[in-house]
Amino acid sequence: MEEKMIRVAITQGDTNGVGYEVILKTFSDPAMLELCTPIIYGSPKIAAYHRKALNLETNYSIINKAEDARDGKLNLLACFDEETKVELGQPSAEAGQAAFKALDRAMTDFRAGLYDVLVTAPINKATIQSPGFHFPGHTEYIETSVGDGNKALMILMNESLRVALVTTHLPIKEVSKAITKEAIMEKATIFHKSLKRDFRISNPRIAVLSLNPHAGDDGLLGSEEKEVIIPAIEELEKQGIQAFGPYPADGFFGSNTYDYFDGVLAMYHDQGLAPFKTIALESGVNFTAGLPIVRTSPDHGTAYDIAGQGKADENSFRQAIYTAIDVFRNRKNYDEPLTNPLPKLFHEKRDDSEKVRFAIPKAKEQQS
């Protein structure tokens, strides 16, 4: 039986940035259409403007609803008809609203089951703000829209490193009070489950970073390690989650200690993302774990400074598509045996009352 093509929804992002450039460059390679069925949520007029400005030859088919998407084609779903002024490299309210309209339509279509995974092009977190979008970023908006009450976890990843965050888009002055035992345990548990289900790592090892320099120096430089982080790690260990630390971030990344772990849990945004982006270069992907939807994005922003110049590297966006497809398949393979579990592996026919000899224990994360 031929496997159904995975439908990849792609939101256009900020229309004055490099979103369309990395999208069109990615699908200039015909091999990408053999891997998935892409559906760009955007505007045909804006897409045509970018294609002409960048002198790209990538073709696309315009559709009005996701049901009309065709395999073997780059499908562009027209989300709105209004004229939108494109000012390459400039933030504008118009570009922000164009990004929101595409994202909003994509959320509606996911709830209707019209695609499998979502890849989002970068937005401007300031210009997208509106009555319909009052969130710090994509992650929080998607969690609220289609999370079904589940909590999201931001993971930055490439082939060799996965960094998750306890806190995301918070001012530094608010980070310390947001670092609680409960928050660390919640994020670490989501991380653990994601590493098993989304990445098929049977017994993941998670490194937990400290909050303060030198891991607090036994309380001299801060008490969060002794009072919050270490108790959280000890409790996680009791629950069967392999968590280690806390490790000072500078020495941890500087000595490549991350090579010994399947994931790294950072306390705040820049603590995790600054070293990650230095290590990952153009191969990094932002993956939102913990939600029913599989959502990824490139690990760069709108890149206004090079928008419209043909300089944007599409590799991170391409990797985001690869990752979304891999995670979708991993989840399907992981969930399939749990849908109809075998009650036993062996049973002697001559004695129906005999107890099952080989029971299949449920995974810990499946227990309520």
State residue 339's pLDDT score.
73
What's residue 332's pLDDT? 95
Confidence of residue 360 (pLDDT cuts 50, 70, 90): very low
Cβ atoms within 10 Å of 179's Cβ, excluding its own: 18
Q: What is the mean pLDDT of residues 75-92?
A: 95
Torsion of CA 276, 277, 280, 284, to 10 degrees: 100
pLDDT above 70 (res 171): yes
User: In 3D, which of 37, 218, 41 has the Cα closest to residue 120?
Assistant: 41
Instruction: Please determine, for residue 89, whether its predicted confidence score (pLDDT) is greater than 50.
Output: yes
Distance CA(71)–CA(258), nearest Å, equals 40
Which is more confidently placed, 107 or 219?
107
pTM over 0.85: yes
Give every CB contact of residue 269 below 8 A, 6+ residues apart in sequence. 165, 167, 168, 169, 170
Average pLDDT over residues 198-221: 92
pLDDT of 347: 47
Query: Nearest to residue 133, comparing CAs of 108, 94, 91, 101?
Result: 101
* Distance between CA atoms of residues 122 and 124, nearest Å: 7
CATH 3.40.718.10 domain locations along the chain: 1-149+291-355, 151-286
Q: Is 50 exposed, middle or buried (0-12, 13-18, 19+ CB in 10 A)?
A: buried
pLDDT at residue 345 greater than cutoff 70: no
Mean pLDDT of the chain: 91
**Beta bridge mates, 61:** 75
- Write the pLDDT tens digit of every residue in 214-266: 988 878 888 999 999 999 999 999 999 999 999 999 999 999 999 999 999 99
Burial class (CB in 10 A: 0-12, 13-18, 19+), 139: buried
pLDDT attached to residue 348: 44
**Rounded mean pLDDT, 342-362:** 43
Per-residue pLDDT for 364 more than 70? no
pLDDT of residue 353: 40
Pairing of strands 285-289, 263-266: unpaired
* Cα angle, residue 166 at apex, residues 163 and 167 outer, rounded to 5°: 110
Q: Is the peptide bond before 44 cis (omega within 30 degrees of 0)?
A: no
* Contacts with 91 (C-beta within 8 Å, 6 or more apart), sequence order: 14, 16, 124, 126, 127, 302, 304
- Tell me the CATH architecture of domain 151-286: 3-Layer(aba) Sandwich (3.40)
**pLDDT tens digits, one per residue of 110-131:** 999 999 999 999 999 999 999 9
Does 356 score more than 70 pLDDT?
no
CATH 3.40.718.10 fits 1-149+291-355, yes or no: yes
Beta bridge partners of 288: 154, 295
